[in-house]
Amino acid sequence: MLGEKKSKVTVSTLFIIAMWGTLSTTAYANSSWIWLTRRQPYELLPLAVLVTFVIETGVILFSLREKKLWKTLMLVTAANLMSFLLPYLFLYQDQKFIYGGREIREMLDRGPFYIVGAFYLIITLVVEVPLVYAGLKNEMKDKKRGFLTIIASNVVTTVLVCVAERMICRGHW
């Protein structure tokens, strides 16, 4: 009896906390987002791509049985281009209905569009990891370790870019 009552109290408490967290969001009605820094996230894209490319290629090459440099470079390049450009494509598709037929740069200047976040990590894990793994699995010493290495390198580089994006680019409503 006491255990059942205690679990109901715990569930109720968790529900109240979840509802409070969900419903107590701030609304920014009739206001505009402005960037406080000179740089915006999309301007960091070339550097982010380069750093990500170097880290991922190096880590993946380390896990290969036979160092297939060109094959690794091509796969990592293709996968990174897809995973870096897909969020911009999704953002453009989403925002063109709000802002009309404007250019993507104009859309990016108007809002708080940090590109790398949880959604980007999902894209990376769904698009980039399978592509690189499928292309290099026959070259790996240990397939499981190679797969986990690809995942780890992508998660680490995504977190690095996410943190850098938020530290370098600041804005407010």
Whether residue 75 is contained in a domain is answered as: yes
User: Look-up: residue for tokens 């290969």?
Assistant: 64
Whether residue 37 is contained in a domain is answered as: yes
Greater confidence, 23 or 140? 140
Whether residue 145 is contained in a domain is answered as: yes
Whether residue 14 is contained in a domain is answered as: no
Whether residue 2 is contained in a domain is answered as: no
Structural domain of 106 = 33-172
Instruction: Quote the DSSP letter at residue 25.
Output: P
Model confidence over 72-126: pLDDT tens digits? Answer: 999 999 998 888 888 777 777 766 666 666 666 666 666 556 667 788 888 889 9
| 75 and 173 Cβ atoms separated by less than 8 Å | no
Whether residue 28 is contained in a domain is answered as: no
Phi-psi region of 34 (alpha: psi -120 to 50; beta: other; left: phi over 0): beta
Q: What is the pTM for the complete model shown?
A: 0.70
Instruction: Quote the DSSP letter at residue 137.
Output: G
Whether residue 21 is contained in a domain is answered as: no
| 60 and 153 Cβ atoms separated by less than 8 Å | yes
Work out whether strand 171-172 and strand 34-35 pair parallel, antiparallel, or are unpaired. antiparallel
Whether residue 12 is contained in a domain is answered as: no
- Count of structural domains within the chain: 1
